[in-house]
């Protein structure tokens, strides 16, 4: 299920503003890749370009290529809705559908996909997804209660359950722990380590300990100044980035000298 992502010469624009320039990288399947860098350098923009989510913003567009396991994501015959099913996303703030039950939150993506699923198949899938998100034991006795009644950490795991229920190949996570306390953060990190057995995971994080803890590969983005596009400065094994980076800018950033 997990897929490899190859990005070449990618520029990303909001109207006339070039937010990200010249990204080249390959993301390995069944691994966690972390994207770090100072505010405004284009990490979230780049992440969203990997499932065409930025296209919901009028005027946003890309030049260059994103290829998922040989398929050009921006090919003229590719449906962006289909792309977002294959490549799921978890956002910074847990965003369960507030009035929907826990069960329906998980089932929502499948129902949107309009595949007819029997009640017992749906029950199985909801259970499997909640187990996959390490939430099942906490919610199994209150599946019909609203998702908004859960704690922040539980809501984020519910959103992860919703994302994995449609069985995506890639999971994009945009600062998934920034609204969580340290215990919930560790629970989500443990979950990511389990999920990478099945999925290709790309995570944007401001938490460098988190990048160091969970990822195999880290990309450092930076920008030369306000109004300049963000660029990928260094892309290397996480261990190298945090012990002996190739670029001085990476070292300055991770040692807290700027950003």
Ligand X SMILES: Nc1ncnc2c1ncn2[C@@H]1O[C@H](COP(=O)(O)OP(=O)(O)OP(=O)(O)O)[C@@H](O)[C@H]1O
Among 41, 89, 106, 135, the residue binding ligand X under the rule CB under 6 A is 41
- Stretch 60-89: interaction string toward ligand X, x if CB under 6 A: ------------------------------
Place of tokens 């962006």: 80
Restricting to residues 201-240, name those near ligand X by CB under 6 A. Answer: 230
Is 177 a binding residue for ligand X by CB under 6 A? The answer is: no
Task: Select the residue interacting with ligand X from 45, 51, 222, 238 (CB under 6 A).
Answer: 45
Of 235, 199, 200, 231, the C-alpha closest to 217 is 235
Stretch that binds ligand X, among 42-50, 105-113, 184-192, 249-257 (CB under 6 A): 42-50
241 closest CA partner among 34, 46, 24: 34
Given 42, 88, 153, 176, the residue binding ligand X (CB under 6 A): 42
Kindly tell me which residue out of 39, 76, 137, 144 binds ligand X, with binding defined by CB under 6 A: 39
User: Is the CB of residue 62 less than 8 Å from the CB of residue 11?
Assistant: yes
Q: Which is nearer to ligand X, 106 or 223 (CB)?
A: 223
Secondary structure (DSSP) of 227-258: TSPEEEEEEEEHHHHHHS-SSHHHHHHHTTS-
Nearer CB in complex with ligand X: 3/48: 48
> Which segment (35-43, 124-132, 143-151, 186-194) binds ligand X by CB under 6 A?
35-43
Cα gap 74→52, rounded to integer Å: 8
Vertex 22: Cα angle to 201 and 8 (nearest 5)? 55
Q: Which two tokens stand for residue 113?
A: 């996909």
DSSP secondary structure, 88-149, as one string: EEE-SS----TTSBHHHHHHHHHHHTT----HHHHHHHHHHHHHHTT-HHHHTT-TTSBGGG
Per CB under 6 A, does 40 bind ligand X? yes
Q: Which residue in the set 21, 29, 43, 177 belongs to the binding site for ligand X (CB under 6 A)? A: 43
Q: Footprint of ligand X on this chain (CB under 6 A)?
A: 14, 17, 19, 37, 39-45, 57, 230
């Amino acid at each position: 299920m997990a897929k490899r992502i190859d990005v070449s010469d990618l520029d990303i624009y909001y109207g006339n503003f070039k937010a990200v320039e010249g990204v080249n990288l390959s993301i390995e399947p069944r691994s966690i890749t972390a994207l770090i860098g100072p505010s405004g350098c284009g990490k979230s923009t780049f992440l969203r370009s990997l499932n065409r989510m930025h296209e919901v913003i009028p005027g946003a567009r890309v030049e260059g290529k994103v290829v998922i396991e040989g398929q050009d994501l921006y090919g003229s015959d590719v449906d962006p809705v289909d792309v977002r099913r294959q490549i799921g996303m978890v956002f910074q703030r847990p965003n369960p559908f507030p009035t929907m039950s826990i069960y329906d939150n998980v089932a929502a993506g499948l129902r949107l996909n309009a595949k007819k699923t029997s009640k017992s198949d749906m029950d199985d899938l909801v259970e499997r997804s909640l187990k996959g998100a390490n939430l099942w034991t906490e919610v199994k006795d209150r599946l019909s209660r609203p998702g908004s009644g859960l704690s922040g950490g539980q809501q984020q795991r519910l959103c992860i359950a919703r994302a994995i229920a449609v069985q995506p190949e890639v999971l994009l996570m945009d600062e998934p722990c920034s609204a969580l306390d340290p215990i919930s953060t560790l629970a989500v990190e443990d979950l990511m380590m389990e999920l990478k057995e099945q999925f290709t995971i790309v995570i944007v994080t401001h938490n460098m300990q988190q990048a160091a803890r969970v990822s195999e590969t880290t990309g450092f983005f930076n920008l030369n100044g306000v109004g300049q596009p963000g660029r990928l400065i260094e892309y290397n094994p996480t261990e190298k980035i945090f012990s002996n980076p190739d670029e001085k800018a990476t070292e300055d950033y991770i040692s807290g000298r700027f950003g």
